[in-house]
A and B are shown apart, each in its own frame.
Chain A
Amino acid sequence: MTEELRKTESKKDEIIDPEQVERTREARLFMPRVDIYETKDNIHLVADIPGADQDSIDITLEKNILSIEARVATEKPVDYSLTYAEYGIGDFNRKFTLSNEIEKDGIVAVVKDGVLSLTLPKAGPAKSQRISVKSV
């Protein structure tokens, strides 16, 4: 099991060039790792965003693009110096395209212990409308 964790949890993916737009904030940018799975009624999106909380996460839905932005404060222990580093600290950013099957008004987002869980309800099957034909 530990082996499994190692393989997937290799390293944070840093976004070097986010769509050619330069950032004004002095922080590195990473791509959060996500799981996307589907149940009977919903599509679930789970993202690892350690260091971000409710107030520092922005989720926007524009047209069909769902974008997740999470700001992480680069705090460091006072008077201590970094002597060994395996991971970098920075903000998270990732975008997804949603299909039309998603009920856009019903999206629910919850954050706990640095994990963001999005529940995207599937839209019910389009109700067939019966059109009555009148005889003249």
Chain B
Amino acid sequence: MEFRKRYSSSLWEEMDKLQREMNRMFDSAYTNRSGTGFDFPAINVWTKPESGQVIIAELPGINPDELDIKVIGESITISGSRNSPEETENLKYHRQERGYGRFTRSIQLPFPVEADRIEANYEKGILKIWLPRAEADKPRKIVVKSNS
């Protein structure tokens, strides 16, 4: 009995440690600074150090004309809105899992971008933003001279 008790308490400690680690992981990677939960839209970032970055976001049901993408310095801001169904009279919801309303998200970029050459496309509810790295900021290969 004594043995089992001790065993379970160490298991709890282990679980607790794991829990704390998980929390820390989620806090740093997913929550925004104000700590209100997940940022919308969720993004995936693809990088090629010598060319730039591609930011991809899932934004189903958005009017691309109302999408606003701004680049200021080394940060990019995506804002827009998703409208609720037009017919509001005699409408009874059975289930509502999708969100509506305005959203804004700012993303810090790791390098300055060529603002004139940014391209964005919206297809099948997915937004892709191509951010070419500024020419002046690109990594340079340094040639080593030898005096032989």
Q: How far is the CB of B13 from chain A (nearest CB, A)?
A: 28
Kindly identify which residue among A8, A36, A114 contacts B58, using a CB–CB cutoff of 8 Å.
A114
The verdict on A4 contacting B101 (CB below 8 Å), with A82-B45, A114-B126 known, is: yes
Q: How far is the CB of A28 from chain B (nearest CB, A)?
A: 13
Q: Does A136 contact B (CB under 8 A)?
A: no
Q: Does B38 contact A (CB under 8 A)?
A: yes
Q: Are B44 and A5 in contact (CB under 8 A)?
A: no
The verdict on A80 contacting B126 (CB below 8 Å), with A4-B101, A87-B58 known, is: no
Among listed B4-12, B17-25, B70-78, B90-98, interface-contacting one: B90-98
Q: Are B45 and A8 in contact (CB under 8 A)?
A: no
Q: How far is the CB of A103 from chain B (nearest CB, A)?
A: 18
Measured between alpha carbons, how far is A1 from B79 in the docked complex, in Å?
13
Kindly identify which residue among A49, A81, A82, A85 contacts B60, using a CB–CB cutoff of 8 Å.
A49
Kindly identify which residue among B46, B47, B59, B64 contacts A50, using a CB–CB cutoff of 8 Å.
B59
Contacts of B134 in A (CB 8 A): none
Measured between alpha carbons, how far is A89 from B126 in the docked complex, in Å?
11
Contacts of A34 in B (CB 8 A): 95, 97-98
Measured between alpha carbons, how far is A10 from B107 in the docked complex, in Å?
18
Q: Are B100 and A4 in contact (CB under 8 A)?
A: yes
The verdict on A76 contacting B98 (CB below 8 Å), with A36-B93, A114-B61 known, is: no
The verdict on A38 contacting B92 (CB below 8 Å), with A1-B102, A8-B98 known, is: yes
Closest to B45 in A: A84
Q: How far is the CB of A5 from chain B (nearest CB, A)?
A: 4
Q: Are A35 and B96 in contact (CB under 8 A)?
A: yes
Q: Are B122 and A113 in contact (CB under 8 A)?
A: yes
Q: Does B42 contact A (CB under 8 A)?
A: yes
Q: Does A19 contact B (CB under 8 A)?
A: no
Kindly identify which residue among A11, A44, A79 contacts B42, using a CB–CB cutoff of 8 Å.
A11
Q: Does A14 contact B (CB under 8 A)?
A: no
Q: Are B47 and A81 in contact (CB under 8 A)?
A: yes
Q: Does B138 contact A (CB under 8 A)?
A: no
Q: Are B54 and A77 in contact (CB under 8 A)?
A: yes
Q: Does B139 contact A (CB under 8 A)?
A: no
Q: Are A84 and B122 in contact (CB under 8 A)?
A: no
Closest to B122 in A: A113
Closest to A41 in B: B90
Q: Are A39 and B91 in contact (CB under 8 A)?
A: yes
Listed in ascending order, the chain A residues whose CB lies under 8 Å from chain B are 1-12, 33-40, 43-44, 46, 48-53, 76-77, 79-87, 89, 112-115
Q: Could you list 15 A-B pairs, sorted by A, with CB under 8 Å?
A: A2-B104, A5-B102, A8-B97, A10-B37, A34-B97, A36-B93, A37-B94, A39-B90, A48-B125, A49-B125, A50-B126, A77-B48, A79-B51, A84-B43, A84-B44
